[in-house]
């Protein structure tokens, strides 16, 4: 079940700025750092992300037309989770049931929307850790 776009707009303006203050520290929350496809502007979007080994599954609650999903697929990005920063390698959107290598919890939560963005994780080094990754 995809959540309505109206809720996405509300969250972008009201909820995301608040969640962005702590989401990077408290799993399963994480912050996706990405650049706008046309503007090149840097964005930080709080998401639900489930890690298993070097794989990350991010729940796509508002559908594949969400800006953060489109930006990551077009230009890559990073994720800050539990205070560590990782590069997103080979991101793709899959059905939650078809995604290999993701955690059982990630698969179960992904079934709520039906889709997950799956990526391998690469080390981003010391650059971009914590709140300085803005």
Residue ranges making up the domain that contains 89: 5-133
In this prediction, residue 108 carries a pLDDT of 85
Task: Name the band, by pLDDT with cuts 50, 70 and 90, for residue 103.
Answer: confident
Q: Which residues have CB under 8 Å from 110's CB, separation 6+?
A: 57, 59, 60, 96, 99, 102, 116
Higher-confidence residue of 62 and 4: namely: 62
pLDDT at 113 over 90: no
CATH code of 21's domain? 2.30.110.10
Number of separate domains in the chain? 1
Rounded to an integer, the average pLDDT of 83-111 is: 89
Distance separating alpha carbons of residues 34 and 22, to the nearest angstrom: 18
């Amino acid at each position: 079940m995809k959540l309505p776009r109206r809720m996405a707009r509300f969250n972008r303006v009201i909820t995301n700025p608040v969640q962005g203050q702590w989401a990077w520290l408290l799993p399963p929350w994480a912050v996706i750092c990405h650049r706008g496809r046309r503007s090149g502007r840097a964005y930080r979007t709080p998401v639900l992300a489930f890690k298993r080994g070097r794989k990350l599954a991010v729940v796509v609650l508002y559908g594949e037309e969400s800006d953060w999903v489109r930006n990551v697929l077009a230009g890559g990005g990073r994720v800050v989770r539990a205070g560590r920063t990782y590069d997103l390698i080979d991101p793709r959107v899959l059905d939650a049931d078809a995604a290999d290598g993701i955690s059982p919890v990630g698969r179960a939560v992904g079934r709520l929307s039906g889709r997950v963005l799956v990526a391998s994780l690469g080390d981003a080094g010391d650059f971009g850790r914590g709140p300085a990754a803005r």
